[in-house]
Structure formats: structure tokens, C-alpha cells
Amino acid sequence: MTAFPAALLPLPVAIPLVVCAAMLATAHLLPGRLPDILATLTALSVAILCAVIAARAADSPLVYWFGGWEPRDGVHLGIGFSVDEASGWIAAFIGLLYALTFLFAWGFFDRTHGHFHILMLLFLAAMVGFCFTRDMFNLFVWFEVMSVAAFALTAYHLEESALAGAINFTVINSLAGFLMLGGIGLIYAQTGTLDFEGIAAAVARGGRDPVVAGAFCLAATALMIKGAIVPFQFWLADAHSVAPSPVSVIFSGSMVSLGLFGLAKVSAVVFAGSDQVQRTLPVLLIGMGSFTALLGGWMALLQRHLKRMLAFSTISHAGIMLTGIGALSAGGTGGMLIYVVGHGLVKGALFMIAGILLATRASIDEIALRGLGRGLGPAGIAMALAGLLLCGLPIGVLDQGTRLVQGALTQQGHGFAVAAGAIGAALTGAAVLRASGRIFLGLGPDPGDEAGAPSQDEREKANRPLWLMLAPCCVLLALDAGLPASLIEHGIPRAASAFMHRPAVGAFAEGPAWLPWASVAAALVGAGYGLFRKRLPAAVVRPVSVTQSAPTRALELLHSGLIGDYAAWLAVGVAAIAAVLTLV
């Protein structure tokens, strides 16, 4: 018999599953708006349940054994859920993001008999399961459910580009699943268990072991593919830019960061006892993360297709999150967890604005939309605000996460990673600010330098009033800006320590106070340069365009959209991780 708070643990996964099975069984009988209502309520109830669980888990993690199979004589027989405070709040955030997305997509998918809602609810259940589980193989199962639901949702528009994006997404993420399964097989053969704690204990006993390192290499690669870390990032830009905008909200807001959340959990809990892995992690994660932050930011600045721009900005911010994990301290991981929530709120709002433009202005192309945003004032303000928050405007949740990550990195002398994160964030902010200036104020040359970037026009059904689409977007931004900072400051040291299974620590270090302002200033300069280039003296413009044109072209060529190239880069990435593991 399980006591009250722990007995809640299966419900946030089981409730969406029950609802979607029932919806499928009665698919053709459901009247028009019922799927919307049911899905929104389900997501809300998941959010509330997860919040209750998280609040109850504050003192010590809640543990639940499925089927009543508690460990016997030290052998873990069944599957367990183990929820610490941080995992619970992340799951609650995901539930809320879904509820708001369902509101945003109200009536958008009404011709599919609730099939869209079924896929989305499965996606939600899988994410919650992924956050809660303490079993390696169960983690893989939820990872795959997430993937399968995502593959189908990506191709929803059925245009050529959507299909190509979905195929690339499917192939690369399937390979990620196979790699992860291989890693699970290796670690199981070596430790004889699948439970996180059981594996951790066996790994700690084992000493330096190539099999453990190999298992980590495979599992980490899989999670980094999901987290879109360079050189595994290619699928993301293809998939996020073609998925329907409500789906992109979920992809960028939670799916990508969940991959990194999983990586943080696996490296802090499962492989905590392996010296080899722990010595490799800072080099590997901070190196790859910094590179990803810079490359993603730069690519974002080059785009004209709004959703593709936001996709690259997600890559950049995933890199920043990875550097947070790489700090290997409770401060860095805590900052990363806050960053996941803050980034999800802001990026979700931005994709919703992209969806609003698709629905009301029937285009997603920054240059085609030039000046067409007049009349959508609130959306413009929201987009500019989101852009400022993205590059580090020092208010709100995202900023708190940034400062904690920077603090942890500064403390350990990773100045390069701090700089890379700040520059990456500034570049993505510059891209968003430039786009909002061009779309909503009609600024900038027509067309600008971005004209050569890949783009494709699309449209989404305009069957919803503007306020209904704007409201969830504003709620997201208000949450990011308005969540009391003291609450997070107070809770995060405890939550992050519990997440990493480490003794509690005091307050965390924060990064330098001037850095966010520097990022904002850089973003404004970048956006201004993009918009007012023609008015600047040639002496300023010429060197910039000369130095950037060759690498820019090379980058565009790299993102070829060809699945063969992506597979080759995947192999290179695995080899790089393996090389670092062997050499360190």
C-alpha cells in the first residue's frame, strides 16, 4: 500500500492515456469542440497534479513502485518512478504549456476527429513519464513514444518541405533511439539492473570500465540528438520550421530541453560514480555547448523564415543549457533547470506569435511580411518583449536561469563558455528584434541581406479570433516576467541538490550583473545593423559583409537538408564524444 502523496505519481501519466484511448474509441461520435475541451482540461489537470506532487516532494523525493514490485534483497524487480522537486515542477510546467497550446490551437484541428489531440496528449504523457521515471529502459520507452508522436505531428501540413523535414526528423531520432537502446544493453550487461540507483551503485563499485564509458557515450549521444546539440542539430531546423505552429510551441518549448533534462539526470544520477565520465563531462558539454550556442545564434540571424529563425535560436539556447550541465555543480544544473522553464515560456510565446502571423497575415516570411504587422500592435509588443527576454533582459525566469548558469561557469573559470552563451543569446535576440522591427514597424531595407535564406510560404487556418491566440501567448510572457524571483531563489538550491542526489548547499553564485545588459545592447546593435545597414557608412558595412559572407555560405551549405549528410555528421559526433571519453 502506498501512502497518499506518492500514490499520485502514476496519475499524471495515466490520465492523459485514459483520455486519449477513450477519445480514439469514440472518435467518430465526438461533437466538434469536445476534443478541444477535453484535451485542455486534461493538460490542466496534469499540470495541477504535477504541481501538487512537486510541492510534496520538497522534503524528500517521492518514490513509487509499479505493480507493487518493491526492491527485494537489493534487487530492483519492477519499474519505479522517483520524483524530486525539480522534476515535478518541470512536469507541471510542461502540463501548463500544453494547456495553453490547446487554447492557442482551439478549433485549429477540428477536421481530424480529435486525432491531433490524441497525439498531443500521448506526447504529454510521454514527457511526464520521461521526467518521472527512474528506470533506464522505461526512459527509453517514453523517449520513443515522444518521438513517434512528434514524427506524425511534424508532417501534418503534408507539404513537400514538411514531409522532408519529418523524414529527416524521423530517421535521425530513430537512430538516437537505437543508440540509446544499445547503451542500455551495455550498461545492463555490466551492472545487471535497469534501475537508476542500482546502476549508479554498480558503476561506483566498478572503477574505470570501457563498457560503462561506451554506454554513456551511446546514451549521451541519443539525448544530445534530442537536445539538438551540434553536430546533431540538423534535424531540428528542418522539423521545427515546417511543423504546425502549435506543435512547434511544444517542440521548442519542451521536447528539446527535455532531452537535455534527461542528459542532466542521467549524468548526475546514473553515471555519478564513474570518474572517467565525470572527468569527461565538463570538457565535452562545455565545449559542445559553447559551440552550439554560437552556431545556433549565428544561423538564427541569417534566417528570413520566422519559424526557422526561432528553430535556430532554440539550438543556440540548448547549447547554453548544455554548458549549465557541464559546470557539474548544483548551481549550474539548477540554473539549467530554471533556464528550461524560462526558455520554454519565452520560446513558446514566440512560436505562438509566428502562428498568429501565419493565421492573420498568411505568411511566415520576414521580408514578405515587412510592414504587414501594423494593426497587430499587441502581438508586436509581445514579440519585441520576447526578443528582449531571449537576449537576456534582466527580469524574469529566463534571466534567473541565465545568471545561475553564468555564475556556475564563472566560478569554475569557464570564461569562454560564459562569453559564448552571452553572444549566442544576443544573436538570437537580435534576430527576433530585427524581425519584429521589420514586420510590425516596416523598418529596414526591402529586401535585406537575408533574401537568399531558405524560405517557403505557408499559411494556417484563420478561424480563431485574435484575442484567443494572443491570450495564451501573453500568459506565457507574463509568467516568465512575473514569477516572483524570491520564490525561485529560495527553492532552487534545495531542488537542484535533490535532483543531483547531492547534499543540500546554500545560495548559488550568480554571474556578473552587467553581462545581461551587455547582451541586450549587443542584440539591439545587431538588430539595428540588420535594419539600418543602408544608412551606415560603407566603411562600417563593407568589412562586416566581407568577413561574414564566406563562413555564412559554408554554414548554409552544411545545413543541406540531405539525410545522408546528417547521418555522416551523426557518426562524426559519436566519434568525437568517444574520442574525448578515451583521451580524458
Partner 1 sequence: MSMLPYAVAAWLFGIGLYGIATSRNFIHLVGCLGVCQSATYVLLLGLGYRWGSIAPIFYDHPPGTPAVDPVMQALVLTDIVVGATLTALLLVLTIQAYKRGGSLDPEKLRPMRAGGKSGRDPGPSRVSDAERSVS
Partner 2 sequence: MSPRARIALLVLAGLVLLPGTGAVIAGLPPFGSTIAQYGERINAITPQVRHVANMVSAINFDLRGLDTLGEEFMLLAAITGTVVLLRGRRGEGNTERAMRRPGRAVIPRSDTVVLVCRIAGPLTALFGLYVVLHATVTPGGGFQGGVILASATLLIYLGEGYAGWRDTVRSHWLDAMEGGGALLFTLCGLAPMLTGAAFMQNVLPLGTFRDVFSGGLMLVENLGVALAVTGGFTQLFLEFMEETRAADEPDEPGEESA
Q: Which is nearer to partner 1, 104 or 109 (CB)?
A: 109
* DSSP result, 321-357: HHHHHHT-SHHHHHHHHHHHHHHHHHHHHHHHHHHHH
272 touches partner 1 (CB under 8 A): no
Cis peptide before 512 (omega within 30 of 0): no
Q: By C-beta, is 141 or 471 nearer to partner 1?
A: 141
Assess contact for 188 and 136: CB atoms under 8 A.
Answer: yes
Residue 367, binding choice from partner 1, partner 2, none, Cβ under 5 to 8 Å by partner class: partner 1
Per the CB < 8 A criterion, the answer to whether 191 and 202 are in contact is yes
SS3 133: strand
Q: Which amino acid is at 18?
A: V
Binding mask 99-138 for partner 1 (x = CB under 8 A): --------------------------------------x-
Nearer CB in complex with partner 2: 191/400: 191
Give alpha helix (H) positions in 244-371. 245-250, 256-265, 275-281, 287-301, 306-326, 330-361
Which residues, 223 to 242, sit near partner 1 by CB under 8 A?
A: 238, 241-242
Identify which range of 87-95, 168-176, 329-337, 476-484 contacts partner 1 by CB under 8 A: 168-176
Beta carbons of 416 and 290 less than 8 angstroms apart: yes
Count CB neighbours of 191 within 10 A: 23
β partners of residue 195: 135
Residue with cell string 537502446 = 181
Question: Binding of partner 1 at residue 78 (CB under 8 A)?
Answer: no
Kindly indicate which of the ranges 147-155, 374-382, 398-406, 493-501 contains the residues binding partner 1, using the contact rule CB under 8 A: 147-155
Q: Is residue 25 part of the contact set for partner 2 (CB under 8 A)?
A: yes
Positive or negative CA dihedral for 453, 160, 240, 226? negative
C-alpha grid cell, residue 513: 550583473
Instruction: Convert residues 75-104 into a mask of x (bound to partner 2 by CB under 8 A) and - (unbound).
Output: xxxxx-------------------------
- Answer yes or no whether residue 568 interacts with partner 2 by CB under 8 A: yes
**CB under 5 to 8 A by kind: which of partner 2, partner 1, none does 370 bind?**
partner 1
Nearest to 500 by CA among 87, 50, 195: 87
The H or E element containing residue 64 is: strand 62-65
Count of Cβ atoms closer than 10 Å to residue 414 Cβ = 23
Judged by beta carbon distances under 5 to 8 A according to partner kind, the member of partner 2, partner 1, none in contact with residue 165 is: partner 1
Residues in contact with 535: Cβ distance below 8 Å, sequence separation at least 6, in sequence order = none
Q: How many CB atoms lie within 10 A of CB 362?
A: 15
Tell me if 368 contacts partner 1 by CB under 8 A. Answer: yes
**Which of 159, 138, 142, 160 shows the shortest CA–CA distance to 150?**
142
Member of 44, 58, 163, 521 binding partner 1 (CB under 8 A):
163
Residue 268: name its binding partner from partner 2, partner 1, none (Cβ under 5 to 8 Å by kind).
none
- Cα→Cα distances 292→82, 123, 176, 325, 563, Å: 31, 26, 18, 14, 20
Stretch that binds partner 2, among 106-114, 260-268, 344-352, 447-455 (CB under 8 A): 106-114
Least distance to partner 1 from the beta carbon of 439, Å? 12
Alpha-carbon distance 270 to 567, whole Å?
Answer: 28
HSE of 179, CA atoms in CB hemisphere, 13 A:
24
What is the distance, to the nearest Å, from the Cα of residue 183 to the centroid of all Cα atoms in its chain? 23
> Under rule CB under 8 A, which residues in 382-441 are in contact with partner 1?
none
Q: Which of 151, 232, 261, 298 is in the footprint of partner 2 by CB under 8 A?
A: 151
Find the helix packing angle between 115-132 and 11-25, rounded to 10°. Answer: 160
Look at strands 80-83 and 62-65 and give their pairing. Answer: antiparallel
Report what 275 binds from partner 1, partner 2, none; CB cut-off 5-8 Å by kind: none
Q: Of residues 34, 272, 362, 518, which one binds partner 1 by CB under 8 A?
A: 362
Options 108-116, 234-242, 318-326, 408-416: segment touching partner 2 (CB under 8 A): 108-116
Residue closer to partner 2 by CB (options 374, 459) is: 459
* Sole window of 63-71, 246-254, 293-301, 416-424 interacting with partner 2 (rule: CB under 8 A): 63-71
Task: Say whether residue 189 binds partner 1 (CB under 8 A).
Answer: yes
d(CA 544, CA 536): 12
Which residue among 206, 454, 491, 512 contacts partner 1 (CB under 8 A)? 454
Quick one: which of 238, 458, 480, 510 contacts partner 2 (CB under 8 A)?
A: 458
Total of residues contacting partner 1 (CB under 8 A) = 63
Partner from partner 1, partner 2, none contacting 455, C-beta within 5 to 8 A by type = partner 1
Q: How far apart, in whole angstroms, are the C-alpha atoms of residue 514 and residue 516?
A: 6
> How far, in Å, CA of 99 to CA of 95, rounded?
6
CB of 433 to partner 1, least distance (A): 20
Least distance (Å) between residue 407 CB and partner 2: 35
In the list 485, 504, 540, 572, the residue contacting partner 2 (rule: CB under 8 A) is: 572
Residues found near partner 1 in the complex (CB under 8 A): 137, 141, 144, 148, 151-152, 155, 158-161, 163-168, 170-171, 174-175, 177-178, 181-182, 184-186, 188-189, 194, 238, 241-242, 305, 308, 362-363, 365, 367-368, 370, 446-447, 451-457, 459, 556, 560-565, 567-568, 570-571
